[in-house]
Amino acid sequence: MEHKMQPAAKQKQQIKMVTGGNVTTPKGYSAGGLHCGIKKYKLDLGWIYSDVPATAAGVYTTNQFQAPPLKVTKESIAVENKIQGILVNSGVANACTGQPGLDAAYKMRKLFSKAIGVSEHLVAIASTGLIGTQLPMDRLEAGIDQMGAKENRDTERFEKAILTTDTCTKNVAVEFEIDGKKVTIGGAAKGSGMIHPNMATMLAFVTTDVNVAPQSLHNALKEVTNRTYNMITVDGDSSTNDMVLVLANGKANNTELTESHPDWDTFVNGLELVSQILAKKIARDGEGATKLIEVHVNGAESDIAARKIGKAIISSNLVKTAIYGSDPNWGRIVCAVGYSEQPIDPDKVKVWLGPTLVVDNGLPLFFDEEAATEYMMQETVQIVVDLQQGDGSAVAWGCDLTYDYVKINASYRT
């Protein structure tokens, strides 16, 4: 095959997956979840707690209708770049709720800080669910009062409590060495619809026991987000509530990490691997989805151009429906490349559907359509585009568009 695939992360040392790992795999974290009555039956209130205040960094939706929980969480982190507890509710987004919604967000933070015995600015909050509905604060307050119950203190319950239309929980953890000490990064996420980040209807919570300087952690998260969470799409919609939070509590007792530390690249690679896995799980769990689409763009003028072209392809409803129908319709792919508004030379473009080269230097090739169709019936469909113009490259992830997506979203409120 003439094209090359990008590695998941460029690793100077081996980064190992932790079997059964999750957001509480790193030292010093616990989590839980319960049903407080925001939803009819399912768990709807979850929390993460660090034994000590953790250095924190966040990235947030670019939607101008930012929900009150994001505003409150930003304020908390701004005080001293520390967070010790995260409280998340599902079922109600507390977005487009005006002053009452902002008051509810502050009260949510206050109640949780009191329950875990920390200052209010050490608490982050997040909400996901229906837009335009006020939080039922009486139920939420009653739920916070129940958090101490032993049966509620379970990481899997947290993973379930943050879901909305998701069909499954999403978790991961990796381990590697910093200063010769074993360190861990874990994560949990939710997301299924309204996914087109810069950010999207997604929440991701990443924890680590690494000691990291605040500004360096922020820089790493921003860098990694551009290559992972911001490279997925489900339906082109960007939500009001999305955020990714990273907590680093330093329990591994390594020398404080900054960009000048010899193991800095390893840490960033570990953070990227965790984020990429969570992002791919979100894309694969798109509402009604049956397949994960992975688009590799190589040979672009820049990485930024490659990212925009990759997002154009996975955002195309025509590409997504072709993937659903296992139709090797390469014309839809080159069409998306062409309208991406990025510099390309159409006479140099090459396109592969899995192992099959279907376009060479801008012209279609004869190929075995039966074999290509059979390949596209797989759960993961890979598209590779080589622009042959430079060294820029990127990977983007999305999902197919099915009848079930319409059914789910046609009756979301009812």
Cα-based distances in Å from 341 to 238, 296, 302, 336, 390: 20, 18, 13, 10, 16
Would you say the C-alpha torsion 86, 87, 93, 99 has a positive or negative sign? negative
The DSSP code sequence of 270-333 is HHHHHHHHHHHHHHHT-TT---EEEEEEEEESSHHHHHHHHHHHHH-HHHHHHHHTT---HHHH
CB 190 within 8 A of CB 203: yes
Backbone angles phi, psi at 369, to 5 degrees: -65, -35
* Cα 194 → chain centroid: 12
Question: Could you tell me which residues are beta bridge partners of residue 129?
Answer: 91
Query: How many alpha carbons fall within 13 Å on the CB side of residue 280?
Result: 18
Backbone angles phi, psi at 204, to 5 degrees: -135, 135
Assess whether 133 carries a catalytic annotation: no
> Is the peptide bond between 5 and the residue preceding it cis, with omega within 30 degrees of 0?
no
Give CA–CA dist 105/118, Å, rounded.
17
Q: Other CB atoms closer than 10 Å to residue 270's CB: what's the count?
A: 28
Would you say the C-alpha torsion 400, 402, 406, 411 has a positive or negative sign? negative
Give CA–CA dist 191/165, Å, rounded.
8
Q: Which entry of 201, 240, 266, 402 is annotated as an active-site residue?
A: 201
H/E stretch holding 85: strand 82-92
Pairing type for strands 170-178 and 181-191 reads antiparallel
- Nearest CA to 158 among 186, 185, 137? 186
* Residues catalogued as catalytic: 201
